[in-house]
Amino acid sequence: MPVLQSPALGPLPLGLLLLFLLRGCGASRPSFLLILADDLGIGDLGCYGNRTLRTLNIDRLAEEGVMLTQHLAAAPLCTPSRAAFLTGRHAFRSGMAGSGGYRALQWNAGSGGLPQNETTFARILRQQGYATGLVGKWHQGVSCATRHDHCHHPLSHGFDHFYGMPFTLLSDCHPNGPPELAAATRVQLQSCTRLLALGTLSLLAARLCGLLPVPWKSLLGAACLSLLLHLCWSCSSGFVRRWNCILMRNHEVTEQPMDLGHSTRLLLREARAFIQRHRHGPFLLLVSLLHVHVPLPTAPAFLGRSLHGLYGDHVEEMDWFVGKLLDGLEKNGLKNTTLTYFTSDHGGHLEARDGSSQLGGWNGIYRGQTGTGGWEGGIRVPGLFRWPGVLPAGRVIREPTSLMDVFPTVVELAGGQVPRDRVIDGRSLLPLLRGEEEHSGHEFLFHYCGTELHAARWHHRDSGQVWKVHYTTPRFHPPGAGACYGSGVCPCSGDGVTHHRPPLLFELSSDPAEARLLSPDSEPLFHAVVARVGEAVAEHRKTLSPVPQQLSTSRVLWRPWLQPCCGTFPFCGCQEDSDSTPQKPGL
């Protein structure tokens, strides 16, 4: 299989030399265990104030490390947030953000994805001599032009080992799950069929009445096509599951469709085996959890254990998973030499519900959720960093920081260089984490919903105030709900949003819940703040430049010739044997 990889180990740069020198003074390059949860709300964790969900392992990371309380995702949905996390750049810079149409990749067999010329932290670390692994969810595309080119695949973006879902978990992945993606596709297919059938009938009528000389051949063709579409529609349940819910090891599909009953176990085993294999380090392991995305596949041992239904059970299973990873580090004597990080790609999905039971996360006091780019609830996520002996234990930092900061932080620690030929939006967290600096590198942060700037944040360092200016907000329904019930996620643009002139202003250091709207009458600084933030936005806009759109309809659509498949297309299907993986399970 052709492997599109960046040239392995480039010339060892100066940074590495410097590190060898530094090593003599007690500093050395850590390994990295980065854990990224999916759709987890900041209010779901004990260390962030949840008193009833038990997340003791994750809480332990906070006790033994640094906890960030204003850690912000660059986007409120998976595909753009992860693109920004991996590259240290806003997703619109790589074309991985969309607003009006698609906002995330929809198929493994679309042609959009993270472009080749974007540089992930994994690629830089690999050049620095790290073993780089990804276990879990990718959701950054697979191929460009042919089934096997794998131009967007993790192995083409600096990971030398991949095991997991090239796509994302969806409720369609459960054999009896309510369709999530399938529903939309089926509705489209059904409307097409109906239109075509109606058209054929009208033409037939016109022909019979002698109004239009339509050839019988065309009529027959149209009728056959309607019938074919109808057949497709009726067999399309299960379609999404087969094409999107798959597991791959490196370039090979190992399970199609995947069996949710053992995926947690397989992923954990793979992650622990990676740690064990690379214990002589240095390594970078990104564990991109399938937890806590619907359909919440949960082992029987965890069912009914929490006080919060299936969702709570599933969060507790995730915490167990994290505990097993930490345990893997400790067993290999790697606890002190590994920087461990835990976060979530964006806020919890309040609208995920099944009747009266809640299937999505809790964002604590913050308004908004998955999909809302401006409100805190969509973007404020957990941020925990542990590196015993180097980072202080139990410190809480309230400064604004971004998930994009992980990129320069990790690169710097590995002795690499961030790319200088492009805008990098992240700032190294090291001075802040080590307590050498009081403030983060972000005086301003820009909060996007797709390609639309919805809000901007100004940390006024002298006064400590954190101003948040909202230019556009989604219309919640019901109003005041903090969510858009009945429509998946809130929109970024169009009729579902309100543009504010003057913008809405909040002061987050005294009002983190964005509950007290400030006005020129109530806030003497109103105009000055709005004007200063406006200037910063204008400066920021100068850094934007057009790039090819990866989420355009034409790139997102399913293409049979790009579909990853085990067996011969279209007869794809294979099952992984839970017990015959070559690595030592150690579970």
Ligand X SMILES: *[C@@H]1O[C@H](CO)[C@@H](O)[C@H](O)[C@H]1NC(C)=O
Give the integer Cα–Cα distance in Å for 264 and 578. Answer: 11
Question: Which C-beta is closer to ligand X: that of 53 or that of 285?
Answer: 53
Which residue's entry shows tokens 């260089």? Answer: 417
Q: Is 2 in the site for ligand X (CB under 6 A)?
A: no
Closest to 361 (Cα-Cα) out of 372, 348, 378, 379: 348
Buried-state track 101-137, b at ≥16 Cβ within 10 A, e below 16: ebbbbbbbbbbbbbbeebbbbbbbbbbbbbbbbbbbb
User: Which residues are designated catalytic?
Assistant: 78, 139
* Residue from the set 188, 336, 357, 519 that interacts with ligand X by CB under 6 A: 336
Rounded to a whole number of angstroms, the minimum distance from the CB of residue 471 to ligand X is 26
Nearest approach in angstroms of CB 580 to ligand X is: 36
Whether the Cβ atoms of residue 381 and residue 343 lie closer than 8 Å to each other = yes
The reply to whether 30 sits near ligand X by the rule CB under 6 A is no
Question: H/E element holding 396?
Answer: strand 395-402
DSSP letter assigned to residue 347: -
Identify the residue among 115, 257, 374, 426 touching ligand X (CB under 6 A). Answer: 115
- Which listed residue (110, 164, 312, 383) binds ligand X by CB under 6 A? 312
Q: What's the min distance (Å) between Cβ of 263 and ligand X? A: 22
**Piece of the chain touching ligand X by CB under 6 A; list 44-52, 133-141, 181-189, 432-440:** 44-52
**Complex with ligand X: residue 388 or 585, whichever CB lies closer:** 388
d(CA 295, CA 169): 8
Number of residues that bind ligand X (CB under 6 A): 21
Nearest residue to 534 (alpha-carbon basis) of 459, 471, 579:
471
List the end-to-end C-alpha distance of the chain, in Å, as a whole number. 32
Nearest CB to ligand X, comparing residues 120 and 143: 120
Of residues 390 through 429, those in contact with ligand X by CB under 6 A are: 422
Give the nearest distance from C-beta 581 to ligand X in angstroms: 30
**With binding defined as CB under 6 A, does residue 141 bind ligand X?**
no
Beta-carbon count within 10 A of 202 CB: 12
Name residue, tokens 């489209």: 188
Strand ranges, E, within 431-559: 444-449, 452-460, 465-474, 497-507
Show contacts with ligand X in window 340-399 (CB under 6 A). 361-362, 364, 388-389
Residues 6+ apart with CB under 8 A from 184: none
Q: Give the integer Cα–Cα distance in Å for 241 and 462.
A: 53
Binder among 7, 52, 521, 542 for ligand X (CB under 6 A): 52
Tell me how far apart the alpha carbons of residues 206 and 357 are, in angstroms, rounded to a whole number.
53
Block residue for tokens 């893997």: 328
Stretch that binds ligand X, among 42-50, 68-76, 237-245, 469-477 (CB under 6 A): 42-50
Using CB under 6 A as the binding rule, the residues of this chain from 538 to 557 that contact ligand X are: 547-548
Smallest distance, Å, CB 347 to ligand X? 12
Minimum distance from residue 140 beta carbon to ligand X (Å): 15
31 near ligand X (CB under 6 A): no
Site residues (CB under 6 A) for ligand X, limited to 280-309: 308
Q: Cα 520 to the chain's mean position, in Å?
A: 38
CA–CA distance, 138 with 569 (Å, rounded to integer): 23
Spatial distance between the Cα atoms of 357 and 350, rounded to a whole number of angstroms: 11
Nearer to ligand X, 386 or 427 (CB): 386
For position 477 contacting ligand X by CB under 6 A, the verdict is no
388 vs 431 by CB, closer to ligand X: 388
Closest distance between ligand X and the C-beta of residue 186, in Å?
A: 31
Tell me which residues touch ligand X (CB under 6 A): 43-44, 49-53, 115, 117, 308, 311-312, 336, 361-362, 364, 388-389, 422, 547-548
